[in-house]
Amino acid sequence: MLMRYFAGLVYFYMAGASNGLDVPVAIASYKPGVVNTPVRFASITTPAVSTVLATTSELSGFILGSVDGTDINIADPNYPWRQAAVSVTTPAATDGAMAVRQVPDDIFRVSFADAYTSAVAPEFTLLQTGTGMAVNQTGGNLVITTGTTANSETVIRSVRTFKGALLARYKTILSQRIVQNNFIVELADLVQDGATYVINSATSVTVTFTTNPFTSINVGQFCNLGVITGAAGLPGRYAIASVSGLTVTFTVASWPGSGSGTLCVYGYNYIRSNYNSTTATAVGFDTQRKGWNTGDTSVSINTTASPGHVGQFHTDNAFVDYADSLVASATAPNFASRGSRLENVPSDDTVLYLWIRTFNGTSNPATTTTWTVGMVHVEQLSNQKVMIAGVGNGSPNRSVPTTVTSGTVILGAGASSIGSITTVVPGTAATNLGKAEDAVAASGDTGVFALGVQRASPASNAANGDYVEFQMSPSSGLFVATIPISGLFTATPTISSGAIYAAGDLVGTVMTFNSVALATGRSGQIVGSTIIDKGKQNAALQLWLFAVSPTLVNTDNGVFDITDANLVTALPIGVIDFAATDYRSTASNSIVNGAVLLDRAPLPFTTSGGANIFGALVTTGTPTYTSTTDLVVYLNVQQF
């Protein structure tokens, strides 16, 4: 081992390399002649030389590093000096490595547990208590009352600062939400405390800085002016009108016409929530970067009435999310995202304070409001950033897009949700909910059980196009509305030409009305019947109808008769009467509409052995027809 000193650095070499050259292995700072001065290695270029170093007496006093504040000597056997070579494979437990520990989150939390009168916890500075306002800590809360004085302002600011990725929470209860009240919690930078100002007019104020951070390039940008003494100026966000030397002139509104005093310039950059509306479930949310903001967005939140809500900012310096939660305990995190900003977000190197402030508007509020702040919490999150599909770590409100390519997704207990599902391709096996069309059913198959609602009679209040439930009868049958198919069916009996029929005679042959039913054994109902009389005899007739072709005692022009047994087997449907007085005639023919016997229309039927029904015409008059086809019979049928 060789040691060479040059320009305040010690270079260590391993001699006798294969190429004949000395190989540099480490660099350390060293001051010759200074005894017991710890020397730390700044660079190590060759691995696994701990044995050589530990046996080199010249190096026994050099320090390789420290663990929890204790310096580690080269010769310390508990920490042999070694550095693993660069590896492209997964390291083993015995490989040399440098110990690395992630810096923990820096957490600032104040619960206002101690009691103070006209003062606040030492983690904060009470910059100003407005006229008619009061600030106290009581009952584990910070309590601020607004009074009823216009332009009055109370400002509280954290002693410590924050920057980088942050998560901030606070609990708020407001006794009322009325006009002329503003309640603000924000992370904002400080430009200058106690700057002097002179009022030029009601719309112009000139502020003098000890060191002016602004130049002409900042004209048009905005800052907050507050903690105003000497005049009743209205706190607010105002634009830079001009810059000259150590002075900056701001364009203001609703200020007195003259006056002077001191004020605080702040909020060149901020992340802010402002309760300035009369709605208990709304808050204004906005951010500003280097004097430019987006403008307040009124977002819906849980109510600020007792027991209040918890507001939350989360920023990774490229994105700000505003969320809130109910105060009540829940089995799962219940923060809901309410608003966000992707632009005008303060930079990660901007030093921010936590501000709690309230001010009244240009008119006196009607009554005083009590603002209760239960706690504040700010975390400076680790800079070891993880990004998944463009979403950073640290926020409980920012969902990570996830695609499950295989396996099972299990949701935990509580209010878990997957979100919007637009496409589902179900399985079709026995244990899947889906089933393939025409698949054979098997015992134990899994499916979705369809439920119906039992009702004494069908009823619905649904509008056309609405989804409705299945309605079941008390006997567990499904109520259905039958929509019949209507049809007109015809038959022509073969009658005697020139013969005189007597009352009670069969007129023509038995008629067949083909395919009256939709299928064998199906049902229907006869809703009307019409006869065309080409001979214009206008005789009274009866149409006897049967489900089975009847066997009659006599044929055409004989007395209509049927045995008892045949009447039973013919399955009679009913009789339709055609009265002589109901005919309507032309010069050469006539028609007549029939009525079901005893006026029991419509006339139901069920076919048997086929889809046809059968009919026989009987006259109660004495017609003489001139053609065998003088009569045509029509049935108007509804099929089920």
At residue 411 the predicted structure's pLDDT band, cuts being 50, 70 and 90, is: low
pTM above 0.85, yes or no: no
**What three-state secondary structure class fits 216?**
helix
pLDDT value at 44 more than 50: no
Residues 6+ apart with CB under 8 A from 425: none
Which residues is 595 bridged to in the sheet? 577
For residue 504, the tally of other CB atoms under 10 A from its CB is 13
DSSP 264: E
Task: Write down the domain spans for the chain.
Answer: 2-73, 485-639
Rounded CA Rg of the chain: 49
For residue 408, the tally of other CB atoms under 10 A from its CB is 5
CA 470 to chain centre: 30
Distance CA 214, CA 204 (A): 17
Q: Quick one: average pLDDT of 248-260?
A: 96
Give pLDDT, residue 270: 97
Closest residue by Cα to residue 367 from 162, 132, 168:
132
Give pLDDT, residue 472: 86
608, amino acid identity: S
Give pLDDT, residue 206: 98
Query: Which H, E and C letters describe 25-89, residue by residue?
Result: EEEEECCCCCCCCCEEEEEECCCCCHHHHHCCHHHCCEEEEEECCEEEECCCCCCCCCCCCCCCC
Q: What is the DSSP string of 360-406?
A: E-SS--SS--EEEEEEEEEEE--S---EETTEETT-TTSPPP----S
Biggest CA-to-CA distance, the chain: 155
Question: Do the beta carbons of residue 365 and residue 179 sit within 8 Å?
Answer: yes
Closest residue by Cα to residue 81 from 51, 116, 112, 36:
51
pLDDT value at 316 more than 80: yes
Q: Phi, psi at residue 82, to the nearest 5°? A: -155, 155
**Averaged pLDDT score across all residues of the chain:** 83
Counting residues of the chain whose pLDDT is more than 70, the rounded percentage is 76
Distance CA 469, CA 467 (A): 7
The tens digit of pLDDT for each residue in 192-222 reads 999 999 999 999 999 999 999 999 999 999 9
Sequence-separated contacts (24+) of 390-394 with Cβ below 8 Å: 392/165, 392/316, 392/318, 392/319, 394/165, 394/167, 394/314, 394/316
pLDDT value at 65 more than 50: no
The tens digit of pLDDT for each residue in 132-187 reads 999 999 999 999 999 999 999 999 999 999 999 999 999 999 999 999 999 999 99
pLDDT value at 41 more than 50: no
Give pLDDT, residue 230: 95
Question: Do the beta carbons of residue 195 and residue 230 sit within 8 Å?
Answer: no
Q: Are strands 320-326 and 336-341 parallel, antiparallel or unpaired?
A: antiparallel
430, amino acid identity: A
Residues 6+ apart with CB under 8 A from 503: 619, 620, 621, 622
Give pLDDT, residue 395: 52
The tens digit of pLDDT for each residue in 533-590 reads 999 999 999 999 999 999 999 999 999 999 999 999 999 999 999 999 999 999 999 9
